A and B are shown apart, each in its own frame.
Chain A
């Protein structure tokens, strides 16, 4: 079976990264064969001992992963409430004190995560968010809605005026595309607050979309409502 058109360079780079088999060997074999034969019959690329060990390990992993995946098939992460999304983001951003990170989850029409991306990683008091990047990722994921989250390294859970303005601009950009901004979760320490739950999520106003980079500084104020996430996340 010819596989030339089916596998991209990045796929071969990935296989090379994981097994150490040179790209030239991988590509040459894949010209006329299914490259996954390499995992099942490593001899076809004449691997050295180290590469053979890596291939066997990768094979073993893929087999175990597939079994586990079947078991966990229905365990997609779905956001049904601000508590679900808050716990999810707090598990990723909780305790991050050295830098401000801005995450965006791209969701399908049942509010399950298609993909989560870090769109900005700044210093302790500032991160720059490029709406154009978020837009590109949203279109690539063909999402129905998005969920924003960032951490306040200082621990405050209150949405600053800059947080609200930033959210407004993202809402304005996505509204014409019928992509809803469901919530903006702020994580401080190991706790979180939901802008939607606190009634500060802008959704009704329609400004002219502005694609300039957004500087988000952590002008943290007194904290308002918060929820503890010390317990294990159950989604």
Chain B
């Protein structure tokens, strides 16, 4: 298995979990999957506002982004010797 293939499998797994956490509609799942595949996971989270999904789903994606960012900050604070 090449490195790229491994990364694709990891990405598919992340997309699948994300769609389950967010409880997206079928059509939104397709749009989100396409966007992550095109942009990568990090750029996807910087482009939420441009996604063509329902506002309520967009809000849940933004909520996920906020939790991820808060988690990173929390770990940084711990690693910083707090």
Contact = CB atoms under 8 A, between A and B. Distances in A.
Contacts of A93: 50
B interface majority secondary structure: helix
Contacts of A77: 39-40, 43, 46
B61 to A, nearest CB: 10
Interface stretch (A41-49, A56-64, A128-136, A156-164): A56-64
Contacts of B20: 57, 61
Interface of B: 7, 10-11, 13-14, 17-18, 20-22, 35, 38-43, 46-47, 49-50, 52, 59-60, 62-64, 66-68, 70-71, 73-74, 77, 82
A15 B82 contact: no
Interface in A100-153: 101, 103, 113-118
Nearest to B13: A64
A13 B74 CA distance: 17
Given A18-B21, A69-B41, A76-B42, A61 B14 contact: yes
B10 A67 contact: yes
A75 interface: yes
Interface string A24-54: 0000000000101000000000000000001
A233 B38 contact: yes
Contacts of B82: 1
Given A64-B17, A65-B14, A58 B67 contact: yes
Nearest to A78: B43
Contacts of B46: 77, 113-116
Given A14-B64, A14-B66, A54-B21, 10 more contacts: A11-B67, A13-B63, A14-B70, A68-B10, A68-B41, A71-B10, A72-B41, A75-B43, A88-B39, A92-B35
